[in-house]
Amino acid sequence: MDVFGEALKDQFTRPPADILWVHNSYDEPEEMPVDIYFRNEAEMPELELEALEQCKGKVLDVGAGVGSHALVLQKRGFDVTGMDISAAAVTIMKQRGLKKAIEGNILKYKGGKYDTLLFMMNGIGLTGSLAGLKAFLKEVKGLLNPGGQLVFDSSDLMYLYQEIAFPEQGYYGEVSFRYEYKSIKGSWFKWVYVDKKMLKGIATETGWNAEVIFEDEHDQYLARLTLRP
């Protein structure tokens, strides 16, 4: 069952949605406000606005959710497509007015070439692990036009371990999540948050230039990756 999609549908059709709980592998479950996915441009934080400013050409918004960022880009005249693995999210994107919205998994997608691949709200984490990120950065080159770019935000999770035990093995930014909505729990899925130093090393290893273009006070940063000549 698409637990996350059910929460989005309720927020869209009969707000407010019930509480969406996010269970994690490192601490207690956290409440995720569903309305955050329906933000308009005025409600977006500076990091996200800067990411939108960095977009160019034909854009694929990966993990677009209900299309909030893609809709801003569409309003600005971009040729933008929103992609999400959730069928419910894709339906809502279309109902909200996004002209191009597709259901898909970027890890398997072969459907076109773009100038910007945009991953918001730690979306690059869908690669699941450092090994998954390396593999993705090698494979995704085929989706970019010459001069294309990846734009995404991530976080250094070191701050989490000031109060809880540091993982005994593996990279500390590799975690697992599951959603719970109306007492229905989804399946666990892996996610990765990569610190800036690690990102730059992986980028170099896989043939990319990595540039940190924005940082905020919450240990989040915005990165742009471009292919090395």
The string of pLDDT tens digits covering residues 11-46 is 999 999 999 999 999 989 999 999 999 999 999 999
The pLDDT, as a whole number, for residue 169 is: 87
Task: Answer with the residue of higher pLDDT: 25 or 162.
Answer: 25
The Cα 117–Cα 225 span in angstroms is: 10
The Cα 82–Cα 102 span in angstroms is: 6
Instruction: State yes or no: pLDDT of 96 exceeds 90.
Output: yes
When pLDDT is averaged across residues 61-70 and rounded to a whole number, the result is: 98
Strand residues in the chain grouped as ranges (E): 20-24, 30-32, 59-62, 80-84, 101-103, 114-119, 144-155, 174-181, 184-185, 189-192, 208-215, 220-227
pLDDT interval class at 164 (50, 70, 90): confident
The pLDDT, as a whole number, for residue 81 is: 98
The Cα 166–Cα 164 span in angstroms is: 6
The pLDDT, as a whole number, for residue 163 is: 80
The pLDDT, as a whole number, for residue 168 is: 83
The answer to whether the beta carbons of residues 133 and 192 sit under 8 Å apart is: yes
Instruction: State yes or no: pLDDT of 219 exceeds 90.
Output: no
Measured in whole angstroms, how far is the alpha carbon of residue 1 from the centre of its chain? 21
The pLDDT, as a whole number, for residue 136 is: 98
Measured in whole angstroms, how far is the alpha carbon of residue 129 from the centre of its chain? 14
Q: What are phi and psi of 189, to 5 degrees?
A: -140, 150
Q: Model confidence over 196-216: pLDDT tens digits?
A: 999 999 999 999 999 999 999
Secondary structure element (H or E) that encloses residue 7, with its range: helix 3-13
Mean of all residue pLDDT scores within the chain: 96
3-state secondary structure 102-134: EECCCCCCCCCCEEEEEECCCHHHHHCCHHHHH
Q: Model confidence over 114-156: pLDDT tens digits?
A: 999 999 999 999 999 999 999 999 999 999 999 999 999 999 9
The Cα 40–Cα 189 span in angstroms is: 28
The pLDDT, as a whole number, for residue 218 is: 83
Instruction: State yes or no: pLDDT of 48 exceeds 90.
Output: yes
The pLDDT, as a whole number, for residue 162 is: 85
The pLDDT, as a whole number, for residue 33 is: 96
Residues pairing with 91 in the sheet: none
Residues 6+ apart with CB under 8 A from 53: none
Tokens 């994107």 belong to 93
The Cα 119–Cα 126 span in angstroms is: 10
When pLDDT is averaged across residues 69-92 and rounded to a whole number, the result is: 98
The pLDDT, as a whole number, for residue 160 is: 87
Q: Are strands 59-62 and 80-84 parallel, antiparallel or unpaired?
A: parallel
